[in-house]
Amino acid sequence: MKQGSDLIQLQVIWSRLIAAVEEQARSLIRAGFSTSTREAGDVSAGVFNTRGEMIAQAVTGTPGHINSMARSVKHFIDVFPVASMEEGDVYITNDPWKATGHLSDLSVVTPIFRNGQFVALFACTTHVVDVGGNGPSPESRDVYGEGLFIPIMKIAEKGRMNESLLQIVRANVKEPVQVEGDIFALVACNDVGGKRLLTIMDEYGLTEIDTVGDEIFARSRKAMMDEIAKLPRGTWHNRMVLDGYEAPISLCAAVTVDETGVHIDMEGTSEASRYGINCPMCYTEAYASFGVKCLVAPQLPNNAATMACITVTAPDDCIANAKFPRPVVARSTIGMFLPDLVFGCFEQAIEGKVPAESTGTLWNIRLGAQPAGDTRGFMVTTFHSGGAGARPAQDGLSATPFPSGIRNVPVEVTESITSLVVWRKEFRPDSGGAGRQRGGLGQIMEIGNREDAPLTLYARYERVENPAKGRQGGQPGAPGRLTLGSGGKLKAKGLQTIPPGDTVIIEMPGGGGYGAPEERDPEALALDLRKGFVTAEAAKA
């Protein structure tokens, strides 16, 4: 074990590594073209040792990207062994089973060399606006209909971009400028991270970083296991019912805590769907393990060592372990509910720490329009959310995504790059579940087209039939709802048309409440009434 000045230097190097990957992520956001990258921050970034193990990750990003990307780099090394890597090489894929779960995410890996010696890998991921096929619609019956599938391959070789691959991408996507721009941003941000690493190595006289990484891993694993040791030993079960597509879905989990770590078994979970709401195992592992980390050790770094203390298993080809070539474009429909599923197990084991259920998967607004006359067509994803679940000592956060943590896209940005107009965006009264602590409110948005042309809505929403549950006597949040401004009801999932001159009204669900409603502080309830979060009728009920 290192001591004295060595420990101080290790801490300084660790802090510098975090700064390097954070700059890597920020560079991706600044250089990105699509709103998902530059506005929402739907990205991840990290540095890896020569074995493909993640040493450090950027704080910027989503758990689904970060935790699945953390496991993906070894797949790149399987295809391109270390001995074959050369300076200037850059690798890319959107393989849902070897990267981050669906074709819309592009993952890029770059080997870093110092004085001709391979010393590290940098990896990053972003969600691009379109990859062709049926786009974000979950109606495809297999992954082939969901867009362009890029196996692990070189996007650059010895510093020269793969123009043939870029031509294929441009020919297959509806927004070629945005997608190609994001690819270049991915390549560039890894380059930024690599340069910062080399600066660190020069300053501290390091010839390699695997030794530093191994010391970080040893300390991280010990700290994680120390936190797990504070938990009671045993196994706890939970079941969650989701709306699903063709039928309701059951997500099941048994969480076991023992001397080897935390183990999640999803036996009993529903079989795979015919539609694209299936979730590959890499994304299931990412969000299930995040749920554990939130409760057990939120302050510890997220790296290969801490993640290794948590295992996740699921039956083959269930909806949480979908196999190729299942359609998976809307895998977040399942994955983003897994922290709440895990929370329901831990609620039985630890008191006063587990929040009520949140709205889970994002209520992103995916709209498109075909070019007509002088009007340019577009495809846009704008990120929005319902409410988070109430916490044991605080109200839930309104219109705030959990577990994704992604930022909402400003209305002004969406309107400036498309012909869309957002007529309304406001909190949805009475949507947060009642309780001693109130659930976070959902929001209402009404959107139309400034052009006299129809809009295509790519719907993939949850919590319409099965709202977020409360805990410890708290009430459920309000379910979500989709309607036309003219009054017609829309389906929660599937491709639908908004007629010219009409609007879509999206009422997002609220988070569950915590504790008995009659225990709520009268001053807090009075404030809710004054702000319009709760109506007088609901308060009386």
Please say whether the beta carbons of 440 and 400 come within 8 A. Answer: yes
Over residues 70-104, the pLDDT tens digits come to: 999 999 999 999 999 999 999 999 999 999 999 99
Please say whether the beta carbons of 96 and 335 come within 8 A. Answer: no
User: Which of 82-91, 230-239, 362-371 is least confident?
Assistant: 362-371
CA distance 40 to 505: 22
Buried b (16+ CB within 10 A) or exposed e, 104-140: bbbbbbbbbbbeeebbbbbbbbbbbbbbbbbbbbbbb
1: pLDDT strictly greater than 50:
no
pTM of the model: 0.95
Please say whether the beta carbons of 319 and 334 come within 8 A. Answer: yes
**Both tokens assigned to 208:** 């390699």
CA distance 67 to 54: 10
* pLDDT band for position 135 (cuts 50, 70, 90): confident
CA distance 264 to 342: 8
Q: What is the pLDDT of residue 5?
A: 64
C-alpha pair distances (Å), 161 with each of 130, 153, 361 = 21, 12, 36
CA distance 81 to 186: 21
C-alpha pair distances (Å), 386 with each of 111, 164, 357, 428 = 40, 42, 12, 9
* pLDDT band for position 3 (cuts 50, 70, 90): low
CA distance 494 to 342: 28
Q: What is the pLDDT of residue 311?
A: 98
Please say whether the beta carbons of 405 and 390 come within 8 A. Answer: no
CA distance 331 to 287: 11
Residues contacting residue 510 through CB under 8 Å, at least 6 positions apart: 359, 386, 387, 396, 428, 431, 432, 433, 439, 440, 441, 442, 467, 468, 477, 478
Over residues 254-298, the pLDDT tens digits come to: 999 999 999 999 999 999 999 999 999 999 999 999 999 999 999
- Determine if the peptide bond prior to 325 is cis (ω within 30°): yes
Buried b (16+ CB within 10 A) or exposed e, 262-279: bbbbbeebbebbebbbbb
Q: One-letter amino acid identity for 147? A: G
DSSP letter assigned to residue 504:
E
187: pLDDT strictly greater than 70:
yes
Buried b (16+ CB within 10 A) or exposed e, 435-451: bbbbbbbbbbbbbbbeb
Cα 187 to chain centroid distance, Å, stands at 21
Cα-based angle 383, 67, 388 (whole degrees, multiple of 5): 40
**Both tokens assigned to 243:** 């709306």
Q: What is the pLDDT of residue 299?
A: 94
Please say whether the beta carbons of 185 and 32 come within 8 A. Answer: yes
Q: Which helix (H) or strand (E) holds 63?
A: helix 63-79
Alpha-helical runs (H) found in 173-237: 176-204, 210-229
Over residues 426-441, the pLDDT tens digits come to: 999 999 999 999 999 9
Q: Which helix (H) or strand (E) holds 463?
A: none
CA distance 276 to 104: 13
Please say whether the beta carbons of 459 and 415 come within 8 A. Answer: no
161: pLDDT strictly greater than 60:
yes
Neighbours of 469 (CB within 10 A): 21
Please say whether the beta carbons of 124 and 73 come within 8 A. Answer: no
538: pLDDT strictly greater than 80:
yes
Cα 390 to chain centroid distance, Å, stands at 21
Q: What is the mean pLDDT of residues 211-215?
A: 96
Nearest by Cα to 271 from 251, 295, 257 = 251
Q: What is the pLDDT of residue 134?
A: 87
Strand order in the sheet with 43-48: 54-57, 43-48, 117-127, 105-114, 90-93, 153-157, 160-161
249-258 and 310-313 as β-strands: parallel, antiparallel, unpaired?
Answer: unpaired
CA distance 453 to 377: 10
420: pLDDT strictly greater than 90:
yes
CA dihedral 82, 83, 89, 91 (to 10 degrees): -40
Cα 406 to chain centroid distance, Å, stands at 7
Backbone phi and psi for residue 55, each to the nearest 5 degrees, phi listed first: -90, -45
201: pLDDT strictly greater than 70:
yes
Instruction: Tell me what the pLDDT averaged over the chain comes to.
Output: 95
Q: What is the pLDDT of residue 409?
A: 87
CA distance 339 to 15: 28
Q: What is the mean pLDDT of residues 217-245?
A: 98
Nearest by Cα to 391 from 419, 359, 363, 353 = 353
Q: What is the pLDDT of residue 372?
A: 72
C-alpha pair distances (Å), 359 with each of 78, 87, 188, 339, 401 = 38, 45, 35, 11, 8
